[in-house]
């Protein structure tokens, strides 16, 4: 039986966006969510949290999303954990670039809070089938 | 009994209103960045001012679209990307940067002053 999506690590420097995404993922999605405000914080906490999926903002100060992904990949426990970029950069060429960096897909900003959990589940299920 | 969806809708609306209430503060950060830019006399000071402008505009751009104020997002996005681009120049010029960014900030300021109701 395919693994169920339960635990999500979400990294975003924007407190307003973090608040609404966390509410959406926990209240509607029923996920266990760890929120980190920076790539550095994610690197400190990700291994212990053991996420099924990582949702990464792209534009963050200091360590941006791609740099955070590269650093997370150096952690043995997270070497293969699926990563999604969460960004307004969703032109097809931009999405392809993100996939080349190792993301399984991209979730568009702005997002509809009611639909975000379902979006993640669909991506997760497609990734498992692939 | 309130469903999770109802609870989210209620709390989301509260966050939208909260975001709207915080927009003038973010605009003030942009204005402070523009003042710093106008006073900057060397590259580090110019870059620091551009960072302030970029960061605050980026927050307005991201939050605007998420919290039902797409017009704020549309105005803040070019300001954020403009500040970012200017900050990457090898020899940034404070006067040129201020001239390029001020009209964008003016547009954004007018929208922040009258954001209307969130479109959610």
pLDDT tens-digit series, residues A47-99: 999 999 999 999 898 899 999 999 999 999 999 999 999 998 888 999 999 99
Judge whether A78 and A47 are in contact, CB under 8 Å: yes
Cα A46 to Cα B71: distance, rounded to the nearest angstrom: 36
- Identify the band that residue B1 occupies on the pLDDT scale cut at 50, 70 and 90: confident
The pLDDT value recorded for residue A78 is: 95
* Per-residue DSSP letter, A4: P
CA distance B96 to chain A (A): 25
The beta-carbon neighbor of A17 closest among B18, B22, B63 is B63
B chain contacts of residue A23, beta-carbon cutoff 8 Å: 8, 11-12, 15
- With respect to residue A30, please indicate whether it lies within any of the assigned structural domains: yes
How large is the ipTM?
0.73
Cα A25 to Cα A72: distance, rounded to the nearest angstrom: 22
- With respect to residue A2, please indicate whether it lies within any of the assigned structural domains: no
A118 touches chain B (CB under 8 A): no
CA distance A20 to chain B (A): 6
CATH number at residue A53: 3.40.50.2300
CATH 1.10.10.10 is the classification of domain B4-113: no
Report the domain count for chain A. 1
Q: Does B39 score more than 90 pLDDT? A: yes
CA distance A111 to chain B (A): 6
- With respect to residue A101, please indicate whether it lies within any of the assigned structural domains: yes
Helix (H, G, I), strand (E, B) or coil at A66: helix
- With respect to residue A24, please indicate whether it lies within any of the assigned structural domains: yes
Burial tier of A45 (Cβ tally within 10 Å: 0-12, 13-18, 19+)? middle
Q: What phi-psi label fits residue B97: left (phi over 0), alpha (psi between -120 and 50 degrees) or beta?
A: alpha
> Given the structure tokens 């960014």, which residue do they identify?
B101
Cα A94 to Cα A101: distance, rounded to the nearest angstrom: 11
- Name the helix (H) or strand (E) containing B107: helix B94-113
Which residues on adjacent β-strands are paired with residue A36? A11
- With respect to residue A1, please indicate whether it lies within any of the assigned structural domains: no
Nearest to A112 by CA among B66, B20, B63: B66
Judge whether B8 and B109 are in contact, CB under 8 Å: no
- With respect to residue A80, please indicate whether it lies within any of the assigned structural domains: yes
Domain holding A85, by residue range, is 7-129
pLDDT tens digits, A17-32: 999 999 999 999 999 9
Other Cβ atoms less than 10 A from the Cβ of A117: the count is 22
């Amino acid at each position: 039986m395919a693994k169920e999506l339960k635990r999500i690590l979400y990294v975003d420097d924007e407190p307003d966006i973090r608040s609404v995404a966390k509410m959406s993922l926990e209240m509607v999605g029923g996920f266990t969510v760890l929120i980190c405000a920076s790539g550095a914080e994610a690197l400190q906490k990700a291994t212990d949290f053991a996420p099924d999926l990582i949702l990464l903002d792209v534009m963050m100060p200091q360590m941006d999303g791609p740099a955070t992904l590269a650093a997370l990949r150096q952690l043995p426990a997270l070497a293969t954990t699926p990563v999604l970029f969460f960004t307004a950069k969703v032109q097809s060429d931009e999405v392809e670039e993100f996939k080349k960096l190792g993301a399984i897909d991209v979730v568009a900003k702005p997002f509809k809070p009611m639909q975000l959990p379902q979006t993640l589940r669909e991506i997760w299920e497609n990734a498992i089938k692939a | 009994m309130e469903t999770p969806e109802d609870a989210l809708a209620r709390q989301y609306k509260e966050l939208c209103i909260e975001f709207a209430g915080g927009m003038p503060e973010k605009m003030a950060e942009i204005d402070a960045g523009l003042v710093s830019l106008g006073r900057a006399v060397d590259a580090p000071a110019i870059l620091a001012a551009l960072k302030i402008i970029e960061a605050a505009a980026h927050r307005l751009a991201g939050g605007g679209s998420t919290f039902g104020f797409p017009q704020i997002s549309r105005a803040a996005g070019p300001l954020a990307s403009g500040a970012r681009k200017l900050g990457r120049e090898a020899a940034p010029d404070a006067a040129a940067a201020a001239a390029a960014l001020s009209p964008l900030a003016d547009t954004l300021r007018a929208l922040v002053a009258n954001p209307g109701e969130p479109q959610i």
